[in-house]
Chain A
Amino acid sequence: MHSTPDQTVSLRDLRGRPVILAFYPADWSPVCGDQMALYNEILPEFQRFGAELLGISVDGVWCHLAFAQNRRLHFPLLADFEPKGAVARRYGVYREGDGTSERALFVLDADGIVRWSYVSPIGVNPGADGILRALEALATPRGRG
């Protein structure tokens, strides 16, 4: 899927390290420290686990580009734009009536298996504590998950 107008990202390319997939309803929510801005600040902590963070919404690439520049985001935003919401549907987090995804978090392990997920009430930014706990669990020996 598209991350910028001329770049694409495939989850398969990211095998070998944990991936955080952060679905959010839309770019440009009118608050400081919205979910993506918060994750931008915490990025070094995610990187300590070697994890790759991907934001994803149904906004198009040009919208993402403007949003990412405005918020100075240092991680990719993926456009689940065409066919609209296809990735969100595959993860079971598309909201039919609203035409957006849920506010949902998935942590995938190095083999691309979903090891933790959380769907937040749509109006509540879930923060990052759950993600960090999931990454810690992945980093501990297997069999405990």
Chain B
Amino acid sequence: MSRQRDAAVLALPVGERDHAHGPANAPVTLVEYGDFECPHCRRAYPIVKEVQNRLGPRLRFVFRNFPLTELHPHAQHAAEVAEAAGAQGRFWDMHDRLFERQFALADDNLIEYATDLGLDAARVARELATHTYKAKVRDDFMSGVRSGVNGTPTFFINGERHDQAWDVEPLAVAVEDAARHS
């Protein structure tokens, strides 16, 4: 019988499939597993922005989907629409919009945001209806499960799960620390 358990580390390295903000050669990569309908992720959204501002080009931020669909009825579709926006090169605009409008995430709202952002909204609607990005969202989710994601949001700093608080100071300090030691 084994009592061993590996440390929680990112099972799927950051790569081409990911949505990344910041330089690929940044000394720190911060990965968030998040859910657009999760209030805690909503609270984390401006915190991550602040950490990005402080670190500037020393930080690369990656967002992966971890929709808790039993708790959050709109989370799956919101994730798929973010991916659809990503296919049109606008993932981060939609990511921001979804968190800023978290109180309104019905399908109609999602398509409205695609229109507002100047996307091909008919294509987004079609891709949502046919669940073009369902498998991608599921892959994100399962990579999170395999990495020891234990709720939303879960952060990984240079591949290691961040088990401390994620208010601005502890998160910024942990990220700065990783930058110095990389």
Contacts and interface: CB of A to CB of B under 8 A. Distances in A.
Interface of A: 31-35, 37-38, 40-42, 45, 71-72, 74, 114-119, 124-130, 132, 134, 145
Nearest to A73: B70
Interface string B108-152: 000000000000000000000000000000000110011111111
Contacts, number: 83
Contact of B150 (A40, A116, A127, A132): A127
Interface of B: 1-3, 5-6, 8, 11, 35, 38-40, 66, 68-72, 141-142, 145-152, 163
Q: Is the interface of A mostly helix, strand, loop or mixed?
A: mixed
A117 B1 contact: yes
A67 B1 CA distance: 32
Given A33-B68, A40-B70, A114 B150 contact: no
Given A41-B68, A41-B70, A127 B39 contact: no
**Pairs A-B, 10 closest by C-beta atoms:** A125-B150, A33-B151, A127-B150, A127-B148, A129-B148, A130-B5, A33-B152, A118-B5, A72-B70, A33-B68
Contacts of B68: 32-33, 37-38, 41
Q: Is the interface of B mostly helix, strand, loop or mixed?
A: loop
B69 A41 contact: yes
Given A33-B35, A128-B145, 20 more contacts: A32-B68, A32-B72, A32-B152, A33-B66, A33-B71, A33-B152, A37-B71, A40-B70, A41-B70, A45-B142, A72-B70, A116-B3, A125-B150, A127-B8, A127-B148, A127-B150, A128-B148, A129-B145, A129-B147, A132-B146
